[in-house]
Amino acid sequence: MKKILLLFTILTTLTCIGCSKEETMQMSISDSVSKSSEENFDTSATVQQLFSEAVTKDNYEMAKWALLNGADVNKFANYEYISEEENPLMVSISNSNEKMAMLLLKNGADVDYVDENGMTTLMCAVTNRMYDVCEELIDRNVDKNALDTSGDNCIDYAITSMGDGYVSDKEMLKMAKLLYNDGVKISNNTKRHIVASDGEGVMDYEYVALDWFISIGEIKRKDLNENQEVFYNVYLGNLDYIKKLKKTQLKIKNSQNQDLLTVAITYAKKDIAKYLLENGMEYKENSTELSDAIGYAALCGDLDTLKMIYKYTDLSDSDIYTIISYDMQCSNDEYIEGIEYLVSKMSDINTYIDNPNETILCLAVYNELEKTSKMLIEHGAEVNLHIIYNAENVGNSELMKVLLNNFDIKSVSEEERQKLLYKMIENGDYEIAKYLIDKGVSIGKDSKEYLEDCPVTKMKSLLEK
């Protein structure tokens, strides 16, 4: 029991490390480990567990310390949700933590690791759009043309990771081109992903990829069936071709159940979108069918097209909430104009579907959209404790400051205020903890005890506030 408590003490102590990178390497971590050693504790296992925790929780400084103190870069100790079978480099890449992945690579991480499905580290990096990591792996002579158990290679992973809208599709095409130019071959599966042998491509909606494959001669126009040819002409912006179609052809859908209008809007083909709206699309009788098209227009930041389509609709606040909730999962802060336009059409920006805490602002915070969160607050979005805890969970201190600056901390009970402060202290967020104390939140018993035992001088100084 004593050994377990000692390990817990070390782990909780190091949880505190993340709050002060400047002091991390100056802490008496080694002293804590040596004390464990005096109690016959397996210090090498302790360091390995700290390393496992660090990689899992994206704590770069802790991972760096653990590696400097003998942690095996290719091994996980059994720690919480991580088993020994997991691979640290693969986990860091899956977490999209490029800085962590580069640290592990610098310290000898196994670049040739393959998981049970045949996914390589390069395939994983491709899926997570980590260009620098991909180039580093290629420079280290990984097998660029390796196939997983389904026969897919890393270019196939780039292609099959598309589908979140024109912006992200272009990013994945950049990745596919990088791999192709580095000598990755087009696999036997590649063509089948876009155009299957029977003409019904399993991913026949990936027009960015289709256009590229046609341009490099891997797919011929004759390989497309009639419907695919129509959609491809929409992607190309060929209005004259679309005008020659019969009215029944204007109503076709691809394997994703997308119609011509949705595809036209996704790829910013405003003239075609306008023609389709005015020539037999019959959306006025069922405007909710335009939801996907509106979502894609907002996602692409195509404000003119969005405004043009919106006049055909009569969407409720719940409809708009649903559209925006999808957009936030696929977007970033560079494309907030469309979301702002939709928000302006809501009668209540604090609308929710099931959970009163899950407002649009909560969704923005969860997806770490700082600019979008500021915009929503300016439009009247209310900040509550649930949203603040969401910001803390994603580890975004800047976003937390934005929320706290727009939240009346005195509107919640003293107990809730102390719980929030303790959470910030426990996670080592000095700036936010200090902010709360300066706002009048008192240091409760739990916070006081935690700070008294914390070896980080900066954190301990909060007791003097």
Predicted confidence band at 267 (pLDDT cuts at 50, 70, 90)? confident
The pLDDT, as a whole number, for residue 136 is 95
Q: Are 425 and 449 in contact (CB under 8 A)?
A: no
Mean pLDDT of 261-279: 86
Predicted confidence band at 332 (pLDDT cuts at 50, 70, 90)? low
Q: Is the pTM of this model over 0.75?
A: no
State the virtual CA torsion across 78, 79, 85, 86 in degrees, nearest 10. Answer: -160
E-strand stretches of 296-446: none
C-alpha to C-alpha distance for 179 and 402, rounded to whole angstroms: 40
The pLDDT, as a whole number, for residue 22 is 34
DSSP of 279-335: TT---TT-GGGGHHHHHHHHHTT-HHHHHHHHTT----HHHHHHHHHHHHHH--TT-
Cβ neighbors of 324 (< 8 A, separation 6 or more) are 298, 339, 342, 343, 360, 363
Q: Of 102-116, 298-312, 347-361, 428-442, where does the model show the most confidence?
A: 102-116
* Alpha carbon 278 to its chain's center: 37
State the virtual CA torsion across 40, 43, 44, 47 in degrees, nearest 10. Answer: 160
285: burial class by Cβ within 10 Å (0-12, 13-18, 19+)? exposed
pLDDT in tens, 409-427: 888 999 999 999 998 887 7
Helix (H, G, I), strand (E, B) or coil at 253: strand
Cβ neighbors of 316 (< 8 A, separation 6 or more) are none
The pLDDT, as a whole number, for residue 423 is 87
C-alpha to C-alpha distance for 35 and 66, rounded to whole angstroms: 17
State the virtual CA torsion across 181, 186, 191, 192 in degrees, nearest 10. Answer: -140
Mean pLDDT of 188-212: 72
- According to DSSP, residue 126 is labeled H
Radius of gyration over alpha carbons of the chain, in Å? 26
- The domain limits of the chain are 1-83, 317-385, 408-465
C-alpha to C-alpha distance for 346 and 342, rounded to whole angstroms: 7
C-alpha to C-alpha distance for 342 and 362, rounded to whole angstroms: 16
C-alpha to C-alpha distance for 144 and 153, rounded to whole angstroms: 8
The pLDDT, as a whole number, for residue 17 is 38
Return the percent helix, strand and coil in the chain, to nearest 5.
60, 0, 40
The pLDDT, as a whole number, for residue 80 is 58
C-alpha to C-alpha distance for 87 and 89, rounded to whole angstroms: 6
pLDDT in tens, 124-147: 999 888 889 999 999 999 999 999
The pLDDT, as a whole number, for residue 381 is 94
pLDDT in tens, 20-53: 333 333 333 333 333 333 333 344 458 888 898 8
397: burial class by Cβ within 10 Å (0-12, 13-18, 19+)? middle
